[in-house]
Amino acid sequence: MRRLELWLYVAQRGSALVLAPLVLLHLGVILYAVGGGLSAAEILARTRSSLLWPAVYGLFVAAAAVHGAIGLRVVIREWSEWRGRSLDLAALGFVLLLLLLGLRAVTAIA
Amino acid sequence: MSTPLTVEIWRGTEQGRFETYQVPTQPSQTVLDLVTYVQRKLDPTLAYRFACRVGVCGSCAMTVNGTPRWTCRTHVNKVASGGRVRIAPLRNLPVLRDLATDMAPLFDKGQQAMGRFVAAEAEAAAVAVVPPEDPKRKEVDAAIECIGCGVCYAGCDVVAWRPDYLGPAALNRAWTLVNDVRDGDRRGHLQAVAADAGCHACHSHQACAEHCPVGLNPSRSIAGLKRLVLMAAIKGEL
């Protein structure tokens, strides 16, 4: 792909912009749920009551998958000799793996 | 007379060892003075490089107690720790012998980053007037005084991890050219720095700015290049 590094840079910064508020929201939700002493059943009842929860967490998963895979590719390129198409495909595979695992969790609360 | 300094100096090429020398202290002594003393009085086979001795030419940079520095303007009393100074060649460059490194990779990358002025056609016809208060001129002024010493290149961890990375000095030079209104190939400069191991490989650690002996901030210049490359790509001008 032409200008791959530039567009990966844009995707990395863009996904970070999405992640920053979502991480804070996620931490807030954890503190709220734990502090309020909600049971698993109560939590699920709330997340299943609105499409907003799976939508927000779906976005979170997508941003984390993109951000994590780009970062991992950079780290591998800096700390090993692995370069080229095979590494790019492996990073793409890592995006799909994170998406699969994350969206599986999202469907469980939807 | 005060106690002599214990000076450890790298001897050899990539393979080698530190040799220890005793050097008498002097007022206002610089690290370059130590090396010169060793070469003139103790061991004439010591290889090192210097020219101006006053911080203009950029040829005497070395690693002093683990930090890249211009040795002619580094006073011993600022860096000696417990009466000892350890002097090694610059990091990230091939060692020719002792303290002399091969600077070719640094200059080659300056060319790869297209760090050379390309006169615009209008420039050939008339002398351009660039007022000092012009915003682009200010960007150039802030980055132009590079002496090419290689200290930023040696201090950069990304260069250490990715030897193909263009590095702070080359990218800083490219930044001065894309801001130069007299330059006729802005697109060429941006294409060169947007390559695989170009400005996007920078992590903004700012080690370059921390170590630069003349107080430049290549990290800031690289951030500017990232911005300009993105704008150019969005406008389809890359």
Residues 6+ apart with CB under 8 A from B237: B187, B190
CB contact under 8 A, A3 and B194: yes
Q: What is the pLDDT of residue B127?
A: 83
pLDDT by residue for chain B (238 residues), tens only, comes to 578 999 999 999 999 999 999 999 999 999 999 999 999 999 999 999 999 999 999 999 999 999 999 999 999 999 998 999 999 999 999 999 999 999 999 999 999 999 999 988 776 677 888 999 999 999 999 999 999 999 999 999 999 999 999 999 999 999 999 999 999 999 999 999 999 899 999 999 999 999 999 999 999 999 999 999 999 999 998 8
Does A1 score more than 70 pLDDT? Answer: no
Q: Which fold has domain B5-101?
A: Ubiquitin-like (UB roll) (3.10.20)
Shortest distance, CA B230 to any CA of chain A (angstroms): 7
A65 in B contact zone (CB under 8 Å): no
CB B218 within 8 A of CB B171: yes
Of B158, B161, B196, the CB nearest to A5: B196
Mutate to test the interface with B, among A5, A13, A76, A83 (most CBs of B within 10 A): A5
Reported as a single tens digit per residue, the pLDDT across A40-91 is: 899 999 999 999 999 999 999 999 999 999 999 999 999 999 999 999 999 9
Shortest distance, CA A6 to any CA of chain B (angstroms): 7
Domain boundaries along the sequence of chain B? 5-101, 104-234
CB contact under 8 A, B194 and A5: yes
Q: Which long-range contacts (CB under 8 A, 24 or more apart) does B119-122 make?
A: B119/B182, B119/B183, B119/B184, B120/B182, B120/B183, B120/B184, B121/B184
Of B161, B194, B195, the CB nearest to A78: B161
Average pLDDT value over all residues in chain A: 94
Q: Residue A39 and residue A57: Cα distance in Å, rounded?
A: 20
Of B161, B201, B233, the CB nearest to A79: B161
Q: What is the pLDDT of residue A36?
A: 82
Shortest distance, CA A88 to any CA of chain B (angstroms): 13
Q: What is the pLDDT of residue B124?
A: 66
Number of domains in chain A: 1
- pTM, whole model, 2 decimals? 0.91
| Domain hosting residue A98, numbered range | 4-109
Q: What is the pLDDT of residue B126?
A: 79
- Average the pLDDT over A3-16 and give the result: 94
Beta bridge partners of residue B23, listed in sequence order: B5
CATH number of B104-234, picked from 1.10.1060.10, 1.10.600.10, 3.40.50.300, 3.40.50.1970: 1.10.1060.10
What CATH number is associated with residue A18?
1.20.1300
